[in-house]
């Protein structure tokens, strides 16, 4: 198996976002030969040591919401020194923390869904993506590595999300390291420990230590670092593999000086990622019945690819467009328990929609795979018509009504 990052290489960092002693690094690796068509995606990386502050009223500048020339696909947000007092942690365990809620409230109307998150005391790592990308994002693992007091306290350390994005392995690590030049050796020791403990334990999966992020001194000033490392040409062009296409372009690098809720200033970078998707079709195709009316049940048809391994714990969720995260469903159904028919490649299941009120909102169907811990299929947006949409005709036949 060959591994590639930006643009044709074995290892590199998409972005090492550093908020003073707090790096946020992203590593991309190719697992299989790419397809022939390239796609252009935009990724916005945020890092901010928030110094226990609450979210300010407006983060439009931080998230580039007013940039009309920017069409973002993914947000990667790393925060350090969030409020981690006992009462705050207890509250955040039962409910969403204020920062996650704020980002979901702002981004969900723009079709962004929280894909994954991991938190360790004051460290938080969030990933948002537009919902159409969800079938091509597979969460492989989330991990936390404390390096604080005696190696057990989580005020220092790193959190990681490891995933596959259109077939590419992606490792995202948000770190909080000891500050000051005098602590350089301790900082390097913590950094090496984080990388060693964040490995994904599976065969044929690239190791995060494959890159050289550890040969540099971790920075302690607010900055974003990235690096390209090209693979030797002799190793690229083999008779069995086509030339890979995976390129990163930096569009912006900004320190946002207008925010004063913390003694740190947030740093953001925006990248254009050009790649040949290794996965071009979802594992599941979902088709709601049409027209769909607000009766007690709705019939859903779905087809599976030949290599998809279903589970009795797979489920289909019904969502309003503008959902915040995967648990925002308005109804759901276990696919095995409620299956009404199946044939070669086609299955049907009923989902209860009797509690859905009349609305002009559009809806989506998501198929969640228990084995893959990810959404593997989505429908196109559709409306649920009110019960009065169909009126009984003279022959007791349902007739469309305008």
CA–CA distance, 323 with 328 (Å, rounded to integer)? 6
Write out the E strands in 277-335.
284-288, 297-304, 315-320, 331-334
Give the pLDDT score at 313.
94
Q: Which residue has the higher pLDDT, 23 or 121?
A: 121
CA–CA distance, 169 with 5 (Å, rounded to integer)? 9
Peptide bond connecting 118 to the previous residue in cis, omega within 30 degrees of 0:
no
Three-state DSSP at 256 gives coil
| Residue 201 confidence (pLDDT) above 90 | no
Q: What percent of the chain has pLDDT over 90?
A: 34
Give the pLDDT score at 89.
60
Mean pLDDT of 153-162: 77
Cβ atoms within 10 Å, residue 68: 6
- pLDDT tens for 270-320 read 999 888 888 889 999 998 887 777 667 889 999 999 889 999 999 999 999
CA–CA distance, 165 with 361 (Å, rounded to integer)? 29
Residue 180 pLDDT level (bands cut at 50, 70, 90): low
Cβ atoms within 10 Å, residue 226: 19
| Residue 164 confidence (pLDDT) above 60 | yes
Task: Choose among 161, 109, 123, 122: nearest CA to 139.
Answer: 161
Peptide bond connecting 200 to the previous residue in cis, omega within 30 degrees of 0:
no
Q: What is the CA radius of gyration of the chain?
A: 23
CA–CA distance, 54 with 238 (Å, rounded to integer)? 53
CB 301 within 8 A of CB 350: no
Cα-to-chain-centroid distance, residue 312: 25
- pLDDT tens for 19-56 read 334 556 655 555 444 445 678 999 999 999 898 899 99
CA–CA distance, 128 with 72 (Å, rounded to integer)? 10
How many CA atoms, within 13 angstroms, populate the side-chain half-sphere of residue 177?
34
Mean pLDDT of 91-116: 88
- pLDDT tens for 85-95 read 666 666 656 56
Residue 229 pLDDT level (bands cut at 50, 70, 90): very low
Residue 337 pLDDT level (bands cut at 50, 70, 90): confident
CA–CA distance, 34 with 278 (Å, rounded to integer)? 5
C-alpha to C-alpha distances, 267 to 58, 168, 253, 254, 272, nearest whole angstrom: 16, 26, 8, 6, 17
| Residue 365 confidence (pLDDT) above 90 | yes
Task: Choose among 4, 44, 54: nearest CA to 24.
Answer: 44
Give the pLDDT score at 321.
95
């Amino acid at each position: 198996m060959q591994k590639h990052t930006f643009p044709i290489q074995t290892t590199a960092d998409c972005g090492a976002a550093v908020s003073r002693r707090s790096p946020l690094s992203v590593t991309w690796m190719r697992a299989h030969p790419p397809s022939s068509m390239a796609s252009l995606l935009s990724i916005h990386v945020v890092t901010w040591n928030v110094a226990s502050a609450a979210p300010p009223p407006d983060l439009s500048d931080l998230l580039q919401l007013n940039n009309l020339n920017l069409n973002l696909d993914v947000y990667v947000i790393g925060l350090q020194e969030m409020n981690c007092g006992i009462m705050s942690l207890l509250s955040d365990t039962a409910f969403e923390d204020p920062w996650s809620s704020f980002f979901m409230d702002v981004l969900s109307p723009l079709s962004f869904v929280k894909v994954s998150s991991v938190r360790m005391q004051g460290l938080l790592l969030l990933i948002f993506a537009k919902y159409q990308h969800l079938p091509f994002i597979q969460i492989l693992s989330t991990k936390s590595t404390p390096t604080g007091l005696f190696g057990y306290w989580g005020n220092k350390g790193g959190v990681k999300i490891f995933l596959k994005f259109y077939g590419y392995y992606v490792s995202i690590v948000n770190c909080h390291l000891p500050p000051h030049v005098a602590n350089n050796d301790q900082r390097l020791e913590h950094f090496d420990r984080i990388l060693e403990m964040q490995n994904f334990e599976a065969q044929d999966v690239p190791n995060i230590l494959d890159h050289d992020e550890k040969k540099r001194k971790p920075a302690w000033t607010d900055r974003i670092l990235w690096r390209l490392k090209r693979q030797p040409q002799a190793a690229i062009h083999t008779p069995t593999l086509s030339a890979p296409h995976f390129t990163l372009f930096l569009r912006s690098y900004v320190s946002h000086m207008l925010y004063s809720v913390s003694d740190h200033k947030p740093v953001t970078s925006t990248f254009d990622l050009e790649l040949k998707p290794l996965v071009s079709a979802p594992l599941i195709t979902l088709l709601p019945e049409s027209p769909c009316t607000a009766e007690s049940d709705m019939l859903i048809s779905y087809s599976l690819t030949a290599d998809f391994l279903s589970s009795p714990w797979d489920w289909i969720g019904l969502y309003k467009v503008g959902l915040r995260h995967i648990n925002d469903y308005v109804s759901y159904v276990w696919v095995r328990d409620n299956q009404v028919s199946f044939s070669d490649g086609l299955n049907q299941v009923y989902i209860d929609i009797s509690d859905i009120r009349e609305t002009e909102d559009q809806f989506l169907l998501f198929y969640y795979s228990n084995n893959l811990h990810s959404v593997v299929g989505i429908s196109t947006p559709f409306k649920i018509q009110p019960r009065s949409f169909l009126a009984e005709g003279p022959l007791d036949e349902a007739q469309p009504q305008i």
